[in-house]
Amino acid sequence: MNTPASPKAVVLLSGGLDSATALAIASDRGYDCYVLSFDYGQRSLTELNAAKEIAKQLKAVEHQVIRLHLEDFGGSALTDHSIDVPEEETDEIPVTYVPARNTVFMSLALGWAEVLEADAIFIGVNAVDYSGYPDCRPEYIAAFETMANLATKRGVSGDPIRIETPLIDLTKEQIIQAGTALNVDYGLTISCYQADDQGRACGVCDSCRLRTKGFVDAGIKDPTRYQ
């Protein structure tokens, strides 16, 4: 008697805390995970080294790193070194927002998912403890899923691909608690927008502040290495 194959998922992995947790959740739900990361000209390339280690730790079936040249456009503190990473909070969409980044990433994930005959794409976006990015909101995800199933052979054939966002309604505290329960090694992850060449976090950017507060609120020791 043949054992039915596990469902497949493409998981977007930056090397940060949220995407690592999303990968752990996808694996825990029984998916064979095909991990996709991007070298898009971001300030901190050490996060890609982190992504490789996380993919190994969480036993991804395959991990691809795709090179994109979003720094050719600039427009973000993460891809344009002439724009400083802010160290204060703002009520506006911050300059660390990378124009259309998640749309570009998920479009490539969609192509791979169709080739793999994967049932889902997992992305660790969050609409609670986040920086105000427009491409992390539930309405954006719903719109992309609709578009994805209008734009693909699989979708128009009645076998839609789902966009899974298991962290969308969680606080950073809850994300850390969920990942800890699934044995995510957060010491491997890098969330900092401007980590140094050794992967040490600055401790002052928006991403660092949210991460630090999350560990405090969760009552879990912060394994982050700081500069």
In order along its 227 residues, the chain shows pLDDT tens digits of 566 789 999 999 999 999 999 999 999 999 999 999 999 988 778 999 999 999 999 999 999 999 999 988 988 988 888 888 887 777 788 888 888 999 999 999 999 999 999 999 999 999 886 668 899 999 999 999 999 999 999 999 999 999 999 999 999 999 999 999 999 999 999 999 999 999 999 999 989 999 999 999 999 999 999 99
Report the candidate in 198, 202, 186, 192 with the shortest Cα–Cα distance to residue 57: 186
Has residue 227 been placed in a domain?
no
Element (H, E) at 103: helix 101-116
The Cβ of residue 156 has, within 10 Å, a number of other Cβ atoms equal to 11
- Residues 63-75 as b/e (b if ≥16 CB within 10 A, e otherwise) read beeeebebbeebe
- CA 85 vs. chain centroid, Å, equals 19
User: What's the start-to-end Cα distance of the chain, in Å?
Assistant: 56
Domain range spanning residue 67? 8-218
CA distance 20 to 124: 8
Residue 104: burial class (beta carbons within 10 Å; 0-12, 13-18, 19+) = middle
Which amino acid is present at 47?
A: E
Looking at residue 119, its pLDDT comes to 97
Helix (H, G, I), strand (E, B) or coil at 201: strand
CA-to-CA distance for 158 and 15, rounded, in angstroms?
A: 34
Nearest CA to 78 out of 200, 191, 189, 223 is that of 191
Instruction: Report whether 161 contacts 119 (CB < 8 A).
Output: yes
Residue 223 is assigned to a structural domain of this protein:
no
Is 226 inside any structural domain?
no
- The reported pLDDT for the residue numbered 2 is 62
- Does 89 reside within a domain? yes
Residue 14 lies inside a defined structural domain of this protein:
yes
Alpha-carbon distance of 185 to 177, in angstroms, equals 12
Rounded distance, CA 22 to CA 38, Å?
Answer: 16
CATH number at residue 67: 3.40.50.620
174 within domain boundaries: yes
For residues 45 and 41, give the distance between their C-alpha atoms in angstroms, rounded to a whole number.
8
- pLDDT value, residue 162: 97
Residue 153 counted as domain residue: yes
CA dihedral over 37, 38, 42, 48, signed as positive or negative: positive
Q: How many domains does the chain have?
A: 1
For 92, phi then psi, to 5°, come to: -100, 165
Q: Is 224 among the domain residues?
A: no
If we measure between CA atoms, which residue out of 64, 63, 80 comes closest to residue 72?
80
